[in-house]
């Protein structure tokens, strides 16, 4: 082989090697770009999925809060109606003294409350009890309860309870819109059946009754 | 004669060496370009993510708000209906309250 041929061979080999290096690099660069694009596509897909989940959670949070607000609205409306019923009842209580209630005169209502209080005090005791009835100034002045009525009540209660009960009117006055307080003469036990106290004491059951009457099935 | 032959061969070797160096330089440039393209693609992807997040969030918030409005509208209508429906029974409820307070039940 002559020098020229050798030179051509050397150049040819160098050319080949050069092309090979460039082609390999080109292929590597293209692969790297392709890999990056694929990786970014996958990353984007995962990102979108994660953002969708976050979006759905946010939407559900808004809807949950709205449902809670809706329940609150209904609850507030019910409370408003319950308060309205209680306020109206309180207003009507003032008319009971003059008009009675469902065929019961105010003195009869007081008699019922005295009997109820007395039975509570004497419950479980067969011994005799001396009790006094406390009225408001207004009720005492109107003489809704007199000695004759107390005598009848005493007989009725003694008969029902089997004990010896004595009732008398106290000179002490109470501050109340109506109702009575009955207490043992020794002051040890008393039952407060004034309207205000009954309203407070029965508050839970009154509300339940109102709810049952007004909202059941609505 | 031999000297001339050697020169021809050396020149060819030099030319081959240059060719390889040029190839290597070309490869380096190619790789640099590829790296830059990768970097550009990643940056673009990051930018795209911001707008994608914003679009998706806005879409679901809008849907949530629409459902919220419908729920509250229904609730308000129900409250109105409840108030109207209970008005006629209010006196009955008042009587029940009075019966218990007055002890006539």
What's the domain count of chain B? 1
A vs B: CB pairs below 8 A: 216
pLDDT digits (tens, 9 = 90+) for A30-68: 999 999 999 999 999 999 999 999 999 999 999 999 999
pTM: 0.75
Rounded Cα distance between A194 and A181, Å, is 6
Q: Which residues of A touch B15 (CB under 8 A)?
A: 10-11, 14
3-class SS of residue A170: strand
Which residues does B97 contact at the CB level (< 8 Å), separation at least 6?
A: A85, A86, A89, A206, A209, A210
The predicted-structure confidence for B13-36, as pLDDT tens digits, reads as follows 999 999 999 999 999 999 999 999
Is B20's Cβ below 8 Å from some Cβ in A? yes
Q: Look up the ipTM and state it.
A: 0.82
**CB atoms near residue B54 (< 10 Å):** 11
Q: What is the pLDDT of residues A97-115, one digit of tens each?
A: 999 999 999 999 999 999 9
A93, B101: Cβ pair inside 8 Å?
Answer: yes
Chain A contact present for B47, CB below 8 A: no
Domain assignment of residue B77, given as a range: 2-102
CB A101 to CB B79 under 8 A? Answer: no
- Comparing CB atoms, the residue among B13, B52, B102 nearest residue A96 is B102
Q: Do A10 and B33 touch (CB under 8 A)?
A: no
């Amino acid at each position: 082989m002559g020098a020229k041929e050798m030179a051509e061979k050397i150049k040819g080999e160098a050319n080949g090697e050069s092309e090979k290096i460039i082609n390999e690099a080109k292929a590597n660069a293209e692969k790297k770009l392709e890999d990056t694009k694929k990786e970014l596509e996958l990353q984007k897909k995962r990102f979108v999925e994660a953002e969708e989940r976050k979006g759905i959670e946010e939407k559900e949070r808004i809807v949950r809060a709205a449902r809670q607000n809706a329940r609150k609205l209904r609850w507030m409306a019910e409370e408003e109606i319950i308060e309205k019923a209680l306020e109206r009842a309180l207003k009507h209580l003032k008319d009971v003294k003059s008009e009675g209630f469902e065929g019961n005169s105010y003195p009869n209502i007081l008699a019922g409350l005295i009997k109820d209080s007395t039975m509570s005090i004497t419950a479980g005791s067969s011994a005799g009890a001396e009790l006094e009835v406390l009225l408001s100034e207004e009720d005492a002045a109107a003489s809704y309860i007199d000695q004759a009525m107390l005598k009848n009540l005493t007989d009725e209660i003694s008969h029902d309870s089997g004990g010896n009960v004595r009732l008398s009117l106290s000179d002490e006055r109470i501050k109340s819109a109506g109702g009575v307080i009955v207490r043992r003469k020794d002051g040890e036990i008393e039952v407060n059946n004034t309207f205000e106290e009954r309203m407070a004491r029965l508050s839970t059951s009154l509300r339940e009754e109102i709810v049952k009457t007004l909202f059941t099935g609505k | 004669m031999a000297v001339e032959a050697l020169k021809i061969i050396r020149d060819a070797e030099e030319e081959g060496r240059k060719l390889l160096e040029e190839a290597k330089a070309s490869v380096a440039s190619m790789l640099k370009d590829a790296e830059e393209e990768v970097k550009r693609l990643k940056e673009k992807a990051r930018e795209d993510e911001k707008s994608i997040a914003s679009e998706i969030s806005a879409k679901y918030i809008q849907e949530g708000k629409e459902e919220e409005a419908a729920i509250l509208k229904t609730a308000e209508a129900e409250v109105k209906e409840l108030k109207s429906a209970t008005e006629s029974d209010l006196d009955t409820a008042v009587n029940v309250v009075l019966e218990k307070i007055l002890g006539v039940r």
